[in-house]
Amino acid sequence: MRHQDRRRTDGAWRRTRRDPRRRAGRPAAGRRQSAGRSIGAGRTGPFPHGHERWQPLSRPAPVGRAAPAGCRRVIEDPPLLTIAATPRRLPASVVAAFAATPASFIVDALGGRGALDWRIKPIGTIRPFAGSAFTCHCGPGDNLALCAAVAECQAGDVIVAATDGFTGTSVVGDLLLGVARNRGAVAFVTDGLVRDQADIEALGLPCYAAGATPNSPARNGPGAVGQPVQCGGLTIATGDLVIGDRDGIVVVPAKAIDQTLARLAAVKESEAAMLARVKAGLSEVGFV
């Protein structure tokens, strides 16, 4: 039977013999060619979009289209939730060293960068904060990971919920944020949307988001907690320092904290000196 005459019957694969006249330049018998590589029995390799790979396994194939004997599909759904085993936190003394420092000063100490996207703004009353990042990544229209992050958060945490900028639904409302506040979280930051703005305002927990919508999320996953995320144009890891005020959100990577703190002293001194000159009547910029 020729190659193009292969058929599947009753949901199972049926292997056939190739016409010997068509073997020239083809893989050895019992192998099939795909994506430029020979894939023999019991091997896996790259296949074109949408094709499935097979590999030997003692377990039976899952319900659905049958696999060859002794094999199962290796295309599987991702885990619903992944939680980092030992999320790190910053010492309270480190957070205190940055507290009450304007976000703009910290950006200057970082070399002029380090702020999240300008669209992430405070919801309600502006309440400055500083704390240790505790991250989660939520799938589109879903907040299972955020629910887990709230359940795992500790005093002093800034919960950072990355949504890949999804705007179809909110990622959180006042009830979940109320639980976070009760557990000691000091702020909530997301590149997505929130809802229940009036009730969030009443909580007193600093909340920064890209906007609001009454649409509600599902809780199905997939998601991750405690792993590095992309949020507002920056990579944020659990244990990074997060500072927020009227100007926006600034993130200091944990590995850069000592260096940033050293530079911050010089920034504060320079700003104080310049402010004194302006108050004294300085009338020339001096930078050009």
**Residue of 41, 64, 35, 65 lying closest to 54 (CA atoms):** 41
Among residues 61, 76, 91, which one ends one of the domains? 76
State whether 51 and 158 are in the same domain: no
State whether 70 and 56 are in the same domain: yes
Per the domain annotation, does 279 fall within a domain?
no
State whether 48 and 99 are in the same domain: no
User: Cβ(188)–Cβ(180) under 8 Å?
Assistant: yes
Per the domain annotation, does 176 fall within a domain?
yes
| 85 token code pair | 């085993």
Per the domain annotation, does 287 fall within a domain?
no
> What letter represents residue 233's amino acid?
G
69-102 core/surface letters (b: 16 or more CB in 10 A; e: else): eebbbeeeeeeeebbbeebebbeeebbebbeebb
State whether 62 and 86 are in the same domain: no
State whether 118 and 175 are in the same domain: yes
State whether 117 and 228 are in the same domain: yes
Give the span between the Cα atoms of 158 and 143, in whole angstroms: 17
Bridge partners, residue 134, by sequence: 159
The DSSP code for 184 is T
Query: Structure pTM?
Result: 0.72
* Greatest alpha-carbon span in the chain: 96
pLDDT at 157: 98
State whether 104 and 135 are in the same domain: yes
| Chain segment 220-270, per-residue pLDDT in tens | 999 999 999 999 999 999 999 999 999 999 999 999 999 999 999 999 999
Give the span between the Cα atoms of 283 and 279, in whole angstroms: 10
Q: Which domain holds residue 148?
A: 81-270
The DSSP code for 74 is -
Number of domains forming the structure of the chain: 2
Per the domain annotation, does 245 fall within a domain?
yes
Per the domain annotation, does 285 fall within a domain?
no
State whether 138 and 62 are in the same domain: no
Per the domain annotation, does 282 fall within a domain?
no
DSSP letters, 152-177, are: H--TTEEEEEE-TT--SSEEE-HHHH
State whether 114 and 245 are in the same domain: yes
Give the span between the Cα atoms of 25 and 16, in whole angstroms: 18
pLDDT at 124: 87
pLDDT at 31: 41
State whether 154 and 254 are in the same domain: yes
Per the domain annotation, does 107 fall within a domain?
yes
Q: What is the CATH number of the domain that holds 147?
A: 3.50.30.40
Tens of pLDDT along the chain (288 residues) come to 444 444 444 444 444 444 444 444 444 444 443 333 333 333 334 434 444 444 444 444 444 455 556 555 555 666 789 999 878 899 999 999 999 999 999 999 999 999 999 999 999 889 999 999 999 999 999 999 999 999 999 999 999 999 999 999 999 999 999 999 999 999 999 999 999 999 999 999 999 999 999 999 999 999 999 999 999 999 999 999 999 999 999 999 999 999 999 999 999 999 999 999 899 998 888 766
State whether 165 and 224 are in the same domain: yes
Per the domain annotation, does 248 fall within a domain?
yes
State whether 99 and 72 are in the same domain: no
